[in-house]
Amino acid sequence: MGTAPLVEQKSIPLFKVFIPESVLEPLREVLFSGIVTEGEQTREFERRLGEYLDTPRTLALNACTHALQLALRLAGVGPGDEVISSPMTCVATNSPVLAAGASIRWADIDPQTGNIDPQAIERAITPKSKAILYVHWAGDPAPIDEINAVARAHGLKVIEDAAHAFGAEYGGRKLGSHSDFVCFSFQAIKHMTTVDGGALCCKSEEDYRRGKTLRWFGIDREARREELFWDYNIQEYGYKYHMNNVTAAIGIEQLKHVDRTLAAHRRNGAFYLQALQDVPKLAHLRRSPKAKAAFWVFTMLVEGREAFVTKLKAQGITTSIVHVRNDAYDAFKAFRRRLPGVDAFASRYISIPCGWWVTEDDAQRIAEIIRQGW
């Protein structure tokens, strides 16, 4: 007795799955249509997604991890090659490099943004470098122009992991068409979910055509079949990475809602930026004027992180670091090197809830609790 709060405080999760009621009818239709694998809905989702991102060479896939794997293959990355990447991301960014049989060369991040530093990329280049791979941390675009300039100067391919950054913009354009390859995730807790799913946007028509074939065992499903439907060749081995009609049917509905979802994320992000200015022991990340962030979560740098997390937890508010620096894992230990930017960021970063489920009142309550100190 005596320990329960008098007024039950509403708990606020860091992530929440958004599924609109309107998916039920199209789902029912597709589930009983007899064609649940890649077909009409997949093509329709792919077309609408390409339109939304303003990049027609878009492939709908079953995961962002597979989009990254496919991008690495299309970029020609294989055994003996090095991919320049940052460890400050989801392990799904970097695992595909190992699956491709290549090595990773870590480039440091800018500790004030969490994103990879173009100058550190330049310093990490070796004769074995083949591609640059990087995440847009928490949906805040990395310096794409500077990274592409380094890549051009050294003949490297660029792969953006935009899993956190659906709808984010850079230089007035949505992410999707700035680099050779841009990968998106529609996994459960992203801005837009198809339960599981992903997409790969390709800059070149050649990569797009080849990617389309490789996502389905290397079979060109659009080639005209002659009398015998098995009369086709497989030029090179492929994968089973295509999106299916069921998840695509969800995606078609989600696209109708995503602008409203994004607007709520951005409203909360803008609110925190203003409401949490000048809070002792708290610093905002630096944001580029060229970028319009998608605020998947709201990341800040805090002193005394454990006390911060404990204080918010006691008020029912979930916070998290979300991703552990990948070079801490044994799977990546061969690539360890000194990364002072990652060290500085990793010791202080924390993310608070920012998504569509956080009401204006919730955001005010969160800000008020933080302003009281920890």
Ligand X SMILES: Cc1ncc(COP(=O)(O)O)c(C=O)c1O
Report the residue number, 187 or 254, with the smaller CB distance to ligand X. 187
Do the beta carbons of residue 369 and residue 312 sit within 8 Å? yes
- Least separation, in Å, of the C-beta of 165 and ligand X? 9
Report the residue number, 271 or 296, with the smaller CB distance to ligand X. 296
Report the residue number, 282 or 299, with the smaller CB distance to ligand X. 299
Report the residue number, 167 or 198, with the smaller CB distance to ligand X. 198
Element (H, E) at 160: strand 157-161
**Residues found near ligand X in the complex (CB under 6 A):** 63-65, 89-90, 92-93, 135, 161, 163-164, 185, 187, 198
Distance (Å) of CA 124 to CA 73, 104, 106, 177, 349: 21, 10, 7, 25, 24
- Least separation, in Å, of the C-beta of 198 and ligand X? 5
Report the residue number, 138 or 252, with the smaller CB distance to ligand X. 138
- Least separation, in Å, of the C-beta of 184 and ligand X? 8
- Least separation, in Å, of the C-beta of 183 and ligand X? 7
Backbone Cα Rg of the chain: 22
Report the residue number, 242 or 365, with the smaller CB distance to ligand X. 242
Length of the chain: 374
- Least separation, in Å, of the C-beta of 64 and ligand X? 3
Q: What is the three-class DSSP state of 327?
A: helix
- Least separation, in Å, of the C-beta of 63 and ligand X? 3
Query: What one-letter code names the amino acid at 43?
Result: R
In angstroms, the CA 182 to CA 156 distance is: 15
List beta partners, residue 131. 83, 157
Q: What is the three-class DSSP state of 92?
A: helix
- Least separation, in Å, of the C-beta of 271 and ligand X? 24
CA neighbor of 184 nearest in space, from 267, 82, 254: 254
In angstroms, the CA 308 to CA 283 distance is: 13
Report the residue number, 86 or 268, with the smaller CB distance to ligand X. 86
Do the beta carbons of residue 192 and residue 254 sit within 8 Å? yes
CA neighbor of 187 nearest in space, from 39, 13, 17, 357: 17
